[in-house]
Amino acid sequence: MKQWSEENPKAPLMEQKRTAIVAGARRAFLESGYSQTSMDGIAEAAEVSVKTIYRHFENKDELFSAVMQAVCSDNWIPSMGQNAAALTLRYPWFDDASVQGLTAGGIEYLTHVLSDEQLSLYRVVTRDAHRFPELGRRYHREVVSGRSKIFAEYVDRCARTNKWKLKNAQNAGNVFEALLRAGIFEELLHGKRAFERRDVVAHCRSVASVMWNLLQTQIL
């Protein structure tokens, strides 16, 4: 991705243009999909020229990656490099090694994953990833891996705090994530039901209880 020195007098204007481009691309990709969105369409949505877009981004793949990063940033998904202290500041439940902490983490996760924008982003990727393999790889790298890493670190902290043995923190985090998504994600994705917070809370309480028992048995 192209960068400009902060000392460059045009840097503020360039950053403003870049923000407008990403915002326009975000609307275009989520409304029309990846394959159906052209650089001309993005330029129109962002109210800039195509030439201006290419001053900021090498190609459409790179621009889509910027859109995914923006979606995650706006939904407070930390970068992969953030440590436990940063995660605790962002997520109060990260320091709560209890069933209540698991429940709170699950609610925050599903509230994000089941948002209209995240479901739209998921549909865009699954619809076009077979034609554009890099699309799927970027989505996994920018979105999926970050969320999975948070859960892996959290369940590891739960185990250590409660003096339980954990065979593989990443696998345990994946199990927690899979339990949270089971049933409810597919139903909302396919329009079988509408998002209801009370349903999400009840689901997360049930999942937290199951996950707590699995951690106690030390089979993960």
Half-sphere exposure of 83 (CA within 13 A, CB side): 1
Is residue 64 predicted with pLDDT exceeding 80? yes
Q: What is the pLDDT of residue 8?
A: 61
CA-wise closest residue to 179 among 110, 89, 121, 77: 110
Average pLDDT over residues 3-19: 70
Q: What is the pLDDT of residue 77?
A: 53
> Both tokens of residue 175?
């199990």
Is residue 117 predicted with pLDDT exceeding 90? no
User: Could you give the percent of the chain with pLDDT greater than 70?
Assistant: 89
Question: Domains along the chain?
Answer: 1-74 (1.10.357.10), 78-220 (1.10.357.10)
Half-sphere exposure of 28 (CA within 13 A, CB side): 24
Angle between helices 11-32 and 116-128 (to 10 degrees): 70
SS3 call for 2? coil
Residue with tokens 């954990």: 166
User: Backbone dihedral region of 182: left (phi > 0), alpha (psi from -120 to 50 degrees) or beta?
Assistant: beta
Average pLDDT over residues 39-43: 92
Average pLDDT, the chain: 85
Q: Which residue has the higher pLDDT, 3 or 141?
A: 141
pLDDT band at 125; cut points 50, 70, 90: confident
Residue 20, judged by CB atoms within 10 A of its CB (0-12, 13-18, 19+), counts as: middle
